[in-house]
Amino acid sequence: MMTVMNTPSRTILILGGYGTFGSLITEQLAKTDAYITIAGRNTRKGQAFAEQHQVNFLQCDVNQPQDLATAINKQWLVINASGPFQAQDYRIPRACIAAGCNYIDLGDGRDYVAGITTLHAEAVENGVFVCVGASTSPAVTAALVGALCTEVVSQKTIRIAMNAGNKNLAGISTIASILDYVGKPIQVWQQGAWKQDYGWGQPEFVAFPKPVGTRRVQLCDVPDLQLFPAYFDAATVTFKAGVELTLFNFAISILGIMRRWLTRLPLAKLAPLLVRGSQAFKFFGSYAGSCAVWLTDQDDHVHHIALVAPSNGPRIPTAPAILLTQKLLAGEVLPAGAYPCVDFFTLEDLARFLEQFGIYYVNAK
């Protein structure tokens, strides 16, 4: 097996490095000895953020092939925190592989993440590490499920739910990703077979650990639905998410109902408007959020684990990309190839990193 070599020139490009999650990644990696450049379309915003964190800024629209080629030229690692990933093909990871550059992204597009293995042979040939979905889904959720699997012989049902505190910042690209599948038919693995449901369907109230409490969640079309049935040998896998204010969850549900009738409705374009509108409601709710897993074993015992963020919840989706980059910077050997981000770190690695932000996990047997 070919392995990724650690080169002396640790140049890192962070696409979207001043966005909601990209900015937190930049902030952490600026503390390392790597040479960091952040990139995006808005020079004023990007430059100001770069100066604040003493990194470089490059104006770049990833949809412009020349911009992209210039940006990734001579980089050792590209971290892609732009998006949305549903709409993207593999142009960026492919360009990185061709340039001999490692690549990590926060991709949450189900097919995008699951299909990355089609680039495996190219990545192996060029000796680079390509890892997509280095964020909550599927990386953090796989670490949580994996921690439960060590104590369960075989599992019947995996239920994953997450909910974010209203006072946290909402990123336009993240909201656009959700709006992309709201009301669209999606395939869910239930009792050993694929069944059709709808994005943001199956609403329910779920009890998260304190201080989060009971919150509404709905079905999401994320990589876990595609990857976990086989990876964890499960009969049923669901992934639901929601925001703290039930009003917003209902509002998105209404958009979903409209989409079921008007299938071509370009809902993702509403993302900037919704994010601006949500600012007026920041007075309500809290910063508290959680990402939880319930695993029912063959004897119908329910095993439960949850990450709890009384505040600083947005640190959770940034942790996998930071952990992987720290591993690469430390010279840890990561195998050349193209992978969904499953099993590259343990829950203990994650917990150690998140501890500084007051985020912890609870494990109820």
Q: Catalog residues that contact ligand NAP under the rule CB under 6 A.
A: 15-16, 18-22, 40-42, 45, 60-63, 81-85, 106, 108, 133, 135-137, 171-174, 177, 317
Measured from the CB of residue 361, what is the shortest distance to ligand NAP in angstroms?
Answer: 17
Nearer CB in complex with ligand NAP: 166/177: 177
Measured from the CB of residue 261, what is the shortest distance to ligand NAP in angstroms?
Answer: 26
Nearer CB in complex with ligand NAP: 83/256: 83
Residue 188, SS3 per DSSP: strand
Partnered with residue 185 across adjacent β-strands are 198
| Cα 338 to Cα 129: distance, rounded to the nearest angstrom | 6
Nearer CB in complex with ligand NAP: 47/126: 47
CA angle 297, 301, 303 (to 5 degrees): 80
Measured from the CB of residue 281, what is the shortest distance to ligand NAP in angstroms?
Answer: 18
Nearer CB in complex with ligand NAP: 296/314: 314
Measured from the CB of residue 135, what is the shortest distance to ligand NAP in angstroms?
Answer: 3
CA angle 198, 202, 205 (to 5 degrees): 150
Q: Hey, how many other C-beta atoms are within 10 angstroms of the C-beta on 107?
A: 28
- Four-residue CA torsion sign, 91, 96, 100, 104: negative
- Is there a contact between 126 and 97 (Cβ–Cβ < 8 Å)? yes
Measured from the CB of residue 331, what is the shortest distance to ligand NAP in angstroms?
Answer: 27
Measured from the CB of residue 335, what is the shortest distance to ligand NAP in angstroms?
Answer: 21
Nearer CB in complex with ligand NAP: 127/287: 287
- Is there a contact between 276 and 242 (Cβ–Cβ < 8 Å)? no
Measured from the CB of residue 246, what is the shortest distance to ligand NAP in angstroms?
Answer: 21
Cis bond before residue 84 (omega within 30° of 0): yes
Measured from the CB of residue 301, what is the shortest distance to ligand NAP in angstroms?
Answer: 28
Q: Say which amino acid occupies 128.
A: V
| Cα 304 to Cα 296: distance, rounded to the nearest angstrom | 9
Measured from the CB of residue 3, what is the shortest distance to ligand NAP in angstroms?
Answer: 26
Nearer CB in complex with ligand NAP: 173/296: 173
| Cα 288 to Cα 142: distance, rounded to the nearest angstrom | 22
How would you classify the pairing of strands 204-208 and 360-364? unpaired
| Cα 2 to Cα 127: distance, rounded to the nearest angstrom | 6
Nearer CB in complex with ligand NAP: 4/268: 268
- Is there a contact between 182 and 252 (Cβ–Cβ < 8 Å)? yes
Nearer CB in complex with ligand NAP: 171/183: 171
Nearer CB in complex with ligand NAP: 229/317: 317
Q: What is the 3-state secondary structure (H, E, C) of 279-292?
A: HHHCCCCCCCEEEE
For 20, 47, 155, the CA distances from 205, given in Å and listed in that order, are 27, 43, 23
